[in-house]
Structure 1
Amino acid sequence: MGYPLAGVRVVDVSSTFMGPYCTMLLAQWGADVVKVEPPGGDVVRKIGDVRGTAMGPVFLNVNRGKRSVLLDLKQDGGRAVLERLVAGADIVVHNLRPDAAERLGLSADAVLRANPRAVHCAFRGFAAGGPYADRPAYDDVIQAASGMAAVQGGADGAEYVRTAAADKIVGLMGAAAVLAALRGRDTTGEGQVIEVPMLETMAGFMLLEQQGGWVFDPPAGPPGYARTASPHRRPCRTKDGHLAVMIYTDAQWSAFFTCIGRPELADEPRYCTIRERTEHIDELYELLNAEMAARTTAEWLAELERQDIAAAPVNTVPGLFTDPHLTATGFFESVDHPTEGPLRLPRQPVRFGPGPLPEAGAERTLYAPGLGEHSLEVTREAGFEEAEIERLVTSGALGLPDGDGPTTTRPVRRTPRDEQGTSRSTPATRTGRRWQTSTTP
């Protein structure tokens, strides 16, 4: 089988984490993603850039499988190239505030005028129509505004989750939304306009289990979820380490009580139903922590596996690279990056069937692009003549990688698969993917 989004064309005018994470997923599922970057490139290129190559580790991860075009959208020429790309796209993604999107020709109206079949996806900090609509927003701000930081901090005050949770969750929501919109376009033949607001997305994400008694109007009890709010909810200390244990169902608690030699607790009124256990979760977690300290991590893992109770040792980031399960499932893939050398990157985790996906080759680029690496390739595919490209480069509207000129025949960057005779760099290998006005039925 082929990649499920093969033939879908995406123009990505987003930066930092949220939009690029969305479009990385689309690229991993087979879409041809053109990343439009400003002079200087996406700011994420410089995060952790210890080599000084503008290819930092976050950028290498979140922009895999994309092609980079360097455009100065403050110039008429840059906007003309973007408009041509939009006219041939299935999906247009950006995280610009409304006034900036309007100036650059990326408002919903402008995109649908250029391409009535396009799916226009705008990531926002806050939904339109409210008093926060024009405010800037980043992950930390949204973790606070959505209630996540307060829940994370508990009684000790607000704390941020130590990963860019809001950016990545909202990026996932965006990926789901554009796929739903593509399905709608298949039915109606018309483009779609999508707004993916960070605050509203994260507030809904939080309230799923945290709304508590406030689901009812008027409230029938306090907000929150007692199990996740418990100060005793943490990885348990064993004799020689830490172990995460999650005991949830009636059968699991009964099995645990038996294995610690206290089967009578299964009939204790405070613990015999999930409602009662949730109300007395602090007592149960205190018991769990006390019992875990009596054996080693390996002893507990063996016992809990026999009882079909979910448990796992606490992994570190380096530990993920030697985890036996991730190793067995081939979670990490080796990529020979043309400029950065050997990389280890997480593989796309979702599996599509039946049958394996084809090997990466001419239609699949596994690595993150250099700034402007594909400027020539994409503008030629979009139908620009060499003289036009020359003028765009001379004016600075179109940027090329260092050392490339508008009429340069660029060397093909080869990978092990390329050595077998398949090039992924020349436009000729991208049949059916020219960036001209979309005629997809």
Structure 2
Amino acid sequence: MTERFDIRHIDLAIADADAGAPGGRALSVFWWKDLPLGTRASLQEELPFGISLLRQLTAEYAARQLEARAVMLGAPLRATYEGWAKPAISLASALEAENLIESLEEFATASSVAADDISVVICTRDRGPALAECLSSVVAQRGTPGEIIVVDNSRDGNARSVCTEFPDIRYVHEPRAGLSRARNAGIRASRLNIVAFTDDDVEVHPGWTAEIARAFAERDVEALTGLVLPARLDTGAQCYFEFAMGGFGTTFIPRTFGRQFFEETRPHGAHVWKIGAGANMAFRRSVFERLGLFDERLGAGAAGCSEDSELWYRLLATGGECLYEPRAVVFHHHRSDWPGLKRQMKAYMKGHVAALIVQHDNFGDRGNIVRVWTQLPAHFAKTFLKTLFEGSPGRLGILAAEIKGWLAGLQFFLRFGWRKQQVPMRAATAIAKETAR
């Protein structure tokens, strides 16, 4: 994937024709009003789409939403092994159901739930222009959040000047490097019952906070993740991350991750990274009171990443549930150059190994160690052989970065002082005092 892809958004509720792409490959994102339905990558010769294909896609997407959201058909769906949800009905049966379009209209109704009980926390480090774009999208929300907090993780506090351009933004300077430290500073500074996180390389959909508010109002879950779509696919590195590496996972069906998912994947290291991405997540404040804050050994600026998935692991291991709701949408700016992508994949793998060690130490789940020593090496070998015969040459460079990250992560097995710095399962009163300061 070396050429750019134009990203175009098609509302099937009003589309009666397809003008095609501006002159090249395209990733089409299909919507029904504000409800995201699916994506389709196409070469230039496959465009424009015919009206019959648009109608077929509408019926198929409507059927999938019906089987995932209609309570009378068994929704909400619960994630099982590998994160997939078992449909309550077959797709064929759903296609035969009546009033598919009427169902789409119901599911696509924009949330009217107030977002004034949501604290939005944005952590940033040395990316002023990107932060300005992110804040512009957050302040334009249909549901105005109760507070917006920017945590500046730079040494010299260089995000302060950007924040002064946005009224009512609360600025917090956390000079100690580390995304987990920055996020924890945001939690301590926040005052409301729901804490939502996004990143400075993200732009949020106008309905993001309203959909988060609706999800927590309708569902008795402790945490939420949402859909992460690419903002641009202008470079080969961005296209490769989105298509070959899977991006952040563009699943358009809601599902609940709970006890069943955790127990089915636990023997092999519970696959909590399937839950979503830290660029689009939210928690009830009670999660931090019950489980503690983000583990500051993990995340960018520390071990590499996976501070979000480790907290989800703690949540599921102690009986909590997390909802993936794709109606809460953000747009992520992927790394634009190959060196940046390689550094990212190395950091991801290093942080992943570190999180597996932490999860084993916290709960004694041997599946985490099995993943480090068995599953990941097997993945590397399989990827190497597949790439030799049918893959892109660029994949070998990414694979090398992942293996370097894995090797770097193994050091944490021997860092006994590091391993003893476990996040305690603190009492609710202790965290309540900490977050109230």
The TM-score bracket by the shorter chain reads under 0.3
| TM-score, with structure 1 as normaliser | 0.22
More helix by share: 2
| TM-score, with structure 2 as normaliser | 0.22
Rg larger for: 1
Question: Which structure has the higher relative contact order (CA within 8 Å, separation 6+)?
Answer: 1
